[in-house]
Structure 1
């Protein structure tokens, strides 16, 4: 946790007994500070607050037009940000998506493609053999991340402190390059999962520590919100129960409002501490979610699927006085966040990061397409991402192409594949097994209801060539 050694006394002042000498020294120091002030201001590094919501549909915000969900603080953030309402994450599942956000690389590059390591059918995870398999597999996944440069590790080279809170799958926080953090190694994030649900104080303490040490900082705020358990306070549930007949939707909406309030807490904290102009606030969700009407859990065509219900997210960048607020309809990706943050902090992104700096309008408008990939929930093979692959997808202009791995002819419809994909909704899984290629005009058909692949064969052929040029398993 955050060090309590936040105050350092001045040994010089304690040691000096002569008032005259002390007075002259104070004058010299004061004059020096005045002389250096312009240079100090010019050299001040940008802080970063990276906010990642969890299992959050792209339309479930006031600023995105939702009729019922109350998100005044996210709405404020949107008004004050460079807002990209047509953002995407690279994968519609928590663990690979978070790994992309923190590395700036696609899942098939950082090799964290699934939530969990391989299982042995018939061996329960809570049995001794099952626990051993799980621990060994998670360790291999953690090593993959350690072998990939992460955002906090790259920032540390320029003197940044970093603090991990909330969702974190890859072992102890230091394995991700964080200098401080809350998670010690459990699957979702152990102690880190208290952030946003019980307290925000660890973040405030960390920022105070950095200010006292004159250190720039990165805060990773990835609470398990609105992720289940959907357990907001009864008054919030009662409010939303007046807006929907589904108690499950009311609770999901309530968790969104709960998350929104924590965003307000963070923005107010930055204001109180006079840090708003010095801090880049970045927002994205890890993956989408469509709440089931009649039971807990997600509905079809959302999480774990190749559809916008699982992949699309608004992306926001705010730094008052530095970033001009406004709205861009360009398609952008979570692959862009790491290079954008590095550039905002005055650090040249390494050439291996192929995302674009979202603060460079010319680069944003010049890009013609974005890509992504969806895998099984539980891995089949931790070293070969193509073995876990379900779909590749891309967006170019108004068109979105979805290609199942079965359509590439190099993946057989094995019982193992179906088993590891068992959490995918039945409709999506059926299309996977039948090798159905899908093409949607997402401008005219944002819910992706009409598959245009048969009526546009030439376009499908062109887009598949582009998809293969990006990554062909």
Structure 2
């Protein structure tokens, strides 16, 4: 080789190395999509016979999709906090939707409680739990300079308290700031705030994090007429038709978001995470949830598909065997962008196939809607549960459920938990109860 050729080769290697370093220095964007009140089977790719979700079906086909995904609690506020912190409700301290009222207002009408200025102080004080947590937005911003945007359901005051640099929720309790306020418009009235944020991030060449948690398919079930008309003849129950149409409406907004990433040429450079905050089974005669769904200890409230899409990095796979939990989303995202996972996070990196295969069990806790104590999570505890392999064991806490019994289900053969086997298999119950106590022992 001539000297000139050798020099050119060295120069090429230097430029290649510099280019490689530049690529490594540009971490992927992160988009977190959170459905609000949707049953685990209410998607086309999960086998629903009527509900059409073409955009989420496509996302599932492009993702590492865990069909056996779960959230620890089947109530939105604790569940959402777990999703953004990677910690169980009893760890982050947000164990219900609304804190306890002043003692002399216990049992009073909700309207009277909300109007009491002392209750406003209590509500604002309870939000301080989030100030003690490091959220996914915090991790991304503090370590790699991400900018981030909050839209949709958000209970913890102003969006900045969740570590977001941009957002929609003002969180002022005196101006309707309970669980999202202005953020709840996203999806239902268009996608412009999220699109504008993405456009700005791309223009400024900054890595970005999008938290998209629309008030969909949550009540009010008021879908566009064009969607409701698709489902009216598919069920004799109008409330169910409305809910099905809401699921497709939510799917449409997800498609718009995913399409916008591709239109801005960042789809391949973005990790998309998907989960639902809790389940929903619609009653036949009203737009409200049925038993054994939202707020319950059963899979109708806790199970959800969990997806991770990162084109050219994560091999698409429909996983019907392994267990995943919403506690895994933060460590998965951190590992993907190159941030060390804190040792105190209980979840695993779902992109680590060995960790997924080695996991033996996942756990959860079902808590009261109305928080019973400002700092003691056990005061609100109703049930603890564990899933190990095919088996799910549910253990009631006598403090809130003195008359409930321990239940055992083979949820692969009996996914709707109709056949309680606890009385027939006391040894299995004892084994799984021991695991629950090793996870979180309560008095």
TM-score, normalised relative to structure 1: 0.86
1:140 Cα shift?
A: 2.4
Matches within 5 A, 1:61-460: 61-119=43-101, 120-127=105-112, 130-157=115-142, 158-185=144-171, 186-328=177-319, 329-406=321-398, 411=399, 432-460=401-429
Give 1:13's aligned residue: none
> Using a 3 Å threshold, how does the CA distance of structure 1 residues 124 and 130 change in structure 2: closer, same or farther?
farther
What is the alpha-carbon distance in structure 1 between the residues aligned to residue 89 and residue 17 of structure 2? 49
Is the CA contact 1:304–1:310 (under 8 Å) kept in the aligned structure 2? yes
Give the root-mean-square deviation of aligned CA atoms.
Answer: 1.5
> Does the residue aligned with 1:268 lie in a helix, a strand or coil?
helix
Deviation per CA, 1:388-416, whole angstroms, max 9, x where unpaired? 0000001001000001101xxxx2xxxxx
Q: Distance in 2 between matches of 1:137 and 1:226?
A: 30
Q: In structure 1, list runs of 5 or more residues that go unmatched.
A: 1-31, 412-416, 418-431
**Superimposed CA distance per residue, residues 1-29 of structure 1 (whole angstroms, 9 cap, x where no aligned partner):** xxxxxxxxxxxxxxxxxxxxxxxxxxxxx
TM-score for both structures, normalised by structure 2: 0.92
- Separation in 2, partners of 1:295, 1:117: 28
Structure 2: which 5+ runs fail to align?
Answer: 1-13, 172-176
Runs of 4+ with deviation above 4 angstroms:
32-36
Q: Distance in 1 between matches of 2:289 and 2:281?
A: 5
Shift of 1:267: 1.3
Q: How far 1:130 sits from its partner (Å)?
A: 4.4
1:358 touches 1:364 (CA, 8 Å); kept in 2? yes
- Cα shift at 1:122: 4.1
Corresponding residue for residue 7 of structure 2:
none
SS in 2 for 1:261: helix
> How many aligned residue pairs are there?
419
Higher radius of gyration, 1 or 2: 1
Are 1:124 and 1:130, in contact at CA under 8 Å, matched by a contact in 2? Answer: no
